[in-house]
Structure 1
Amino acid sequence: MPLRRTAVRAGRRLFTACLAGSLLACLPSCSGGGAQDSAGASAGASGLGDRLFPHAGNGGYDVTRYGLDLSYDPGSGRLSGTAVITATATQDLGSFDLDLAGLTVTRVAVDGRPARTGRSGTELSVRPAGTLRRGARFETTVAYAGVPRLLTDPDGSHEGWFRTDDGALALGEPVGSMAWFPGNDHPSDKAVLDLTMSVPTGLTAVSDGEPAGTRSGGGRTSFHWSSGAPVATYLATVAIGRFTVTRSRTPGGVPLYTAVDPRSDDPQTAAALRRMPEILDWESGLFGPYPFGSAGAIVDHIEGGRVGYALETQNRPVFPGDGEGAAVDVPTLVHELSHQWFGDSVTPRSWQDMWLNEGFATYAEWLWLEHSGGVPVARSAATAFDDPAAWAFPPAAPPGAADISAQPVYDRGALVLYELHQALGDTAFAKLLRGWPAAHAHGNASTADFTAYCAGLTTRDLTPLFATWLYGDAKPARL
């Protein structure tokens, strides 16, 4: 997502509270595990202990697949259906938690057997009929319904489920996916997403992955989407409404599926989207082969500026429109598409590693400005260096949850890469741009993983560089 610069080009939302109050206050405390039952099995932790979001996600299991079979009624705003969550126990489990905000749960089963449940804030606790042994693969089915909520972030922005005048739009960073499906809502647990969404005939449902067919009957149409690669929950989306759908390919052969609300199809949007094939092929030349089965974009009409940001949802980033048109320009498109390598394929292991997403995406913008407009990367770096806001804290050490979208994560994160380019030279830096996303493709990586990878590209000691630019509190004397 691009750093917030204007009302149109907005950055990530900063999350410590939601549901018109403090989410963290309503969650149970996080621990490494719960009390043991008579068989020696423990409760999975109600949070993963992320330094910035300690209550995000859940312990005791690893999700491999989300199967969502859902139905939406735009008139009432009601969402209903089932989620089948396939996971592997990472410890002996007597119970475990799923993240779910609001919505009414009507049935839960584990491996086909009814399970006892409890609710506390955004935690759905599940107690299977029998102990789940470490290494066991199991399926949890959750039937649920209700009107999904918007989650409110401390800066007044929103995530979760946006009702539109003709449908809905789901956006999930950092924890908005729990507004519309239960899961393990932390970037470290990625899983394949298989979604079927039933909507009134005449509307379209667009999601991550590849279109896998439609089925119509009884005045409704079901759209099936399936991701071939794992998706972090914050990158899952579904957009429901009236869209003009365009299918094409890049010159390099990547299939494109683009859905644009006709009301948001202004000249700026059309001009930017026409350059998507060019941008993707250019980025593939820098960062390696495109990491997913298809690309594209979703441009949805949102009245009143309620979204105000673009988001790198997997396969096809989301760009919100409003009464004045769509928030799409070429630099923003470059930024969001570069995230398909940096953030979507290689996903942060924890939220404090967010600079690995935003530093690379910001640097991609600088490279594009040099490539397409003749603006040297050095000039973009100097502009970022001279901005006092970039030096509020080290990019690899945001002081709190409210800082993961602040300017140091973006601009100073990009300055780390600029300094690496100077230190490594052109050849080794080109290997970094291609090798890093290949080394951790479709997985997770931390800042420590990154610095170790960089150290392997040179005989030069990079410790002083990282100490100054990545972790240092003081601004260097010069760029």
Structure 2
Amino acid sequence: MLLTVSAAAVAVPPALAGEPAGGAGAESAGDRLFPSLGNGGYDAGSYDVQFDYRPSTPKVNATVTMRATAKQDLSRFSLGAAGQDIKSVSEQGARAEFSTSGEKLTITPKNPVRKGRTFTVRTDCRADRSRNLPGSFWEYWVPTKDGFALMGRPDRAHLFFPANDHPSDKARFTFRISTPKNLRAVANGFLISRRTAGDRTTYTFRTRHPIPTRVGQVAVGKYREVEQRGPHGLPIRSYVPADQYTQLKPVVSRTPAQVAWLEKEIGRPFPFEVYGMLAVKSPYNGVALETATRSTFSSSMLNRPAEQAEPVMAHELVHQYFGDAVSVRSWDDMWISEGHAHYYQIRYEVDRGFRQRPRGRATR
């Protein structure tokens, strides 16, 4: 049975539970289901994540810069961080003291950050692609023969890079991934540059709109792009394993029609600046994932008959609206997101003839 993991709706970021009036930022977003997840005292605005991928080692050198606005005076604050070797931290360019405990990176800036001020925090660290935390029931750094893909759901984006890893605090992302030049990097948003120097190529992707950390994606491998146009000229750029291009191009080519169908059903234009699919040449933990602007699938799942593959494609597409653009306020709200995704998936199955229309009942 294909397991489709997705989540969450309702849009307004909450006041973070337990947040003090001044001094130290809370080390929790106050989520009932994930009480240790998230951090308080600031609002993350953007992340700039640099990964240096080397196939010969599971270690990934990374530099992560968060730009945030203080919601209170901050003598110290925290980020979620798990599985990284933290090398150094700076705030506004000045070296900051830091400590790690459990899954928290606590930072004490040289000078307190005043309420209302926008500030930047740079963390130099090394992540370990071979590391999965105790209690993990699948791999979050998903390995492939020629690279990897990320699986940050539900609460493991901070295994990849330090972040305020709660869906109520969305942010814009820039990913800069350096790879051997025979490989290709894929991430959320638009590819804005590709630069090669010697035997290394750096790919830079950027999102125009804020997204939750849990639906961030970075993948490296031998991928080939399928470029299309959707409704209103929407760029649709999918990436499939190069050696499966012939089989998968007809599958991903159904995406523009699916977007047009869903826009008509919902009555709203697609909420992001670009869409597409990422096909990972691995079981991808047996799931499909609504990674923002580019949903992620196992390539073997996309190779299934249309009546099996297309409904899952539609399901993850719906989550671009419900779960990604409109994000979770608390994990208790995830049923609203899943409810929309399943509802429109069933409507899609009926419209495509994959499911019989119910008799004697309204379908809207």
Match of 1:235 among 215, 219, 222: 215
Which of 281, 296, 306 pairs up with 1:301? 281
Number of the residue aligned with 1:32 = 18
Segments of 5+ residues of structure 2 without an aligned counterpart are 8-15
- Give how far 1:284 is off: 1.0
SS at match of 1:197: strand
Equivalent position amino acid for 2:351 in 1: H
1:121 is matched with which residue?
102
Aligned to 1:66: 47
Q: Name which of 122, 142, 152 aligns with 1:172.
A: 152
Change beyond 3 A, Cα 1:249–1:13: closer
Corresponding residue of 2:262: 283
How much has 1:253 moved relative to structure 2?
A: 1.7
- Give secondary structure in 2 for the equivalent of 1:234: helix
- Taking the aligned partners of 2:88 and 2:262, their CA distance within structure 1 comes to 46
2:322 to 342, 351, 357: 342
Deviations 1:329-369, CA, capped at 9 Å, x for gaps:
10100101111111111111111100121110101111112
**Structure 1 residues 273, 13: CA separation in 2 closer, same or farther (over 3 Å shift)?**
closer
1:194-253: CA deviations, max 9, x gaps? 111110001111100111010000200000101000010001000100011111112542
Q: Verify the 8 A CA contact 1:80 1:145 in the aligned structure 2.
A: yes
After superposition, what is the alpha-carbon deviation per residue over 1:150-179, rounded to whole angstroms, capped at 9, x for unaligned?
Answer: 546858333x32232211111211122111
Partners of 1:374 and 1:11 lie apart in 2 by: 18
Q: Alignment partner for residue 171 of structure 2, among 177, 183, 191? A: 191
5 Å-filtered alignment, 1:226-265, equals 226-264=206-244
Counterpart residue identity of residue 242, structure 2? P
AA at the equivalent of 2:110: A
The secondary structure found in structure 1 opposite 2:78 is strand
Counterpart in the other structure of 1:211: 191
Q: 2: distance between equivalents of 1:251 and 1:317?
A: 18
Alignment of 1:29-178 (within 5 A): 32-33=18-19, 41-151=22-132, 156-158=137-139, 160-178=140-158
Report sequence identity in percent. Answer: 32
Contact 1:263/1:325 (<8 A) preserved: no
Unaligned stretches of 5+ residues in structure 1:
1-5, 15-29, 35-39, 383-417, 427-479
Q: What is the identity, as a one-letter code, of the residue corresponding to 2:148?
A: A
Number of matched pairs:
352
Structure 2 partner of 1:315? 293
Shift of residue 262, structure 1, vs aligned partner: 3.4
Task: Specify the SS of the correspondent of 2:227.
Answer: strand
Residues 98 and 363 of structure 1: CA distance in aligned 2, closer, same or farther (over 3 Å): same
Query: Which secondary structure state, in structure 2, belongs to the residue aligned with residue 67 of structure 1?
Result: strand
**3-state SS of paired residue (1:319):** strand
Q: For 2:26, what is the secondary structure of its paired residue?
A: coil
Alpha-carbon separation, structure 1, partners of 2:244 and 2:238: 13
* Distance in 2 between residues matched to 1:186 and 1:88, nearest whole Å: 16
Instruction: Check conservation: 1:65, 1:191, Cα contact below 8 A.
Output: yes
**Could you give the per-residue CA deviations for residues 434-457 of structure 1, whole angstroms, max 9, x where no partner exists?**
xxxxxxxxxxxxxxxxxxxxxxxx
Q: What residue number does 1:274 align with?
A: 253
- Cα RMSD (Å): 2.5
d(CA) in 1 for partners of 2:262, 2:243: 29
Structure showing greater radius of gyration is: 1
- Contact kept, 8 Å, 1:258 with 1:297, in 2: the verdict is yes
Aligned partners of 1:292 and 1:315 also within 8 Å: yes
Q: Are residues 378 and 154 of structure 1, via their aligned partners in 2, closer, same or farther at CA, if it must alter by over 3 Å?
A: farther
Q: Structure 1 residue 266: deviation in Å?
A: 7.5
State the alpha-carbon separation in 1 of the partners of residues 335 and 252 from structure 2: 26
Structure 2 partner of 1:21:
none
* Cα distance in 2 between the residues matched to 1:332 and 1:216: 36
Map Cα deviations across residues 115-148 of structure 1 (whole Å, 9 max, x no partner). 1000101100000011111111110000111423
Distance 1:55 1:377 in 2: 44
In the alignment, which residue of structure 1 is the partner of 2:309? Answer: 329
Contact 1:41/1:131 (<8 A) preserved: no
Do the aligned residues in 2 keep the contact of 1:266 with 1:326 (CA within 8 Å)? no
Deviations for 1:387-444, whole angstroms, at most 9, x for unmatched residues?
A: xxxxxxxxxxxxxxxxxxxxxxxxxxxxxxx9xx88xxx6xxxxxxxxxxxxxxxxxx
* Aligned equivalents of 2:6, 2:354: Cα separation in 1: 32
The TM-score normalised by the length of structure 2 is 0.90
Instruction: Report the alpha carbon displacement of residue 74 of structure 1 after superposing the two structures with TM.
Output: 1.8
Q: Name the CA distance, whole Å, in 2 between partners of 1:124 and 1:94.
A: 14
**1:12 Cα offset (Å):** 2.4
Q: Secondary structure at the match of 1:339?
A: helix
SS at match of 1:353: helix
Report the equivalent of 2:351: 371
The residue number in structure 1 matching 2:338 is 358
Name the structure, 1 or 2, with higher relative contact order (CA <8 Å, separation 6+): 2
When residues 325 and 65 of structure 1 are mapped into structure 2, their CA distance, relative to the original with a 3 A threshold, is: closer
Instruction: Describe the SS at the equivalent of 1:97.
Output: strand
